[in-house]
Amino acid sequence: MTRDQRKAAFDLLAGERILVMDGAMGTMIQGYGLDEAGYRGERLKDHSHDLRGNNDILNLTRPDIVEEIHRAYFEAGADIVETNTFSATSIAQADYEAEHLVTEINVEGARLARLAADKVQEENPGRICFVAGALGPTNRTASISPDVNDPAFRNVTFDTLVASYKEAARGLVEGGADLLLVETIFDTLNAKAALFAIDELEEETGVHLPLMISGTITDLSGRTLSGQTPEAFWNSVRHARPVSVGLNCALGAKQLRGFLAELSRVAETRVSAYPNAGLPNAFGGYDETPEETAAEIGAWARDGLVNVVGGCCGTTPDHIRAIAEAVKDVLPRKVPEPPRRMRLSGLEPFEVPA
């Protein structure tokens, strides 16, 4: 099946049922208990900087682990898996002195996910599996100063973000991703840079991939880290015409519901959500069981809030299996058609009356 055929299949399936994404990659990798040597592998045994904790580097040093995790999520019922590239930008990889490996990390990340997808499809005739090329937020913010004594200071520029995202996205396209996912957005200006980079890449290559966008409400104030409400966030990114917009990370399903409902009310596209397995405990772990997470997400589905669901931090194939079961007989949210208006945003949304 070609990429264009999978794109058409995605639209068809998304119209028929709620699609299921995978769960946490980092949580699963932690279960392998890799030490520094485990992260380095033979390929990077002499690398100049510690690599432990750099999950994306495993695309190069332990591809068997990465493919195994992708396969586990597909077998649990996921329709879409995200590439293991959350921090595979030159900005984030600079912490490990691995900037020169960014293109290869992204190419291999997409290739491994596609390999797992193809194997599962071959074993299950008629099934279609999708790969979302993940573009994370980087570890810098274009809107907020990291120095409380100098509010005007920024440790990254918009142009630097664009160049970094473009390099990563190019690798994901080359490696075989079906969609691009700009995710865990805590700063909308960072996301704007990613969207601009994707537009430039499409103009250069002529390859257009469906776009998913997912923001992060950082706490119960109901705002992103850079201060936007869900509706204001949507107004800021709707020009990109994504196939879905949604929320992920930071909160569990129970805490996320109200903010998801706000986004679902206004977004004239599909809505996605993949929460954490509850809130972290005192040790930074997650205690919410698959049944608890699935019960909350099943309620979202029955109330018509979502089109795509999955899990973020702390979730496992068991969570995804339970979520898939909870939504399997529920129709997807009907995408609204709001009247045409000028809709603007700062920290709050603003709609110009007709």
For 30, left (φ over 0), alpha (ψ -120 to 50), or beta? alpha
Pairing between β-strand 244-252 and β-strand 80-82 as defined by DSSP bridges: unpaired
- Report whether 312 belongs to an annotated binding site: yes
Residue 314, classified by CB atoms within 10 Å of its CB into exposed (0-12), middle (13-18) or buried (19+), is buried
CB 78 within 8 Å of CB 320: yes
- Burial code of 48-85, b = ≥16 C-beta within 10 A, e = fewer? eeebeebbbbbbbbbbebbbebbbbbbebbbbbbbbbb
Residue 72 CA: distances (Å) to CA of 24, 81, 113, 275 = 11, 10, 11, 19
313 is in an annotated binding site: yes
Of 165, 142, 164, nearest to 154 (Cα)? 142
**In this structure, what token pair is assigned to residue 318?**
């068991």
Residue at 33: amino acid letter: G
Strand 244-252 and strand 211-215: the pairing is parallel
Distance CA 142, CA 328 (A): 40
Is 129 one of the annotated binding-site residues?
no
| Binding site listing for Zn(2+) | 249, 312-313
Residues annotated within the binding site are 249, 312-313
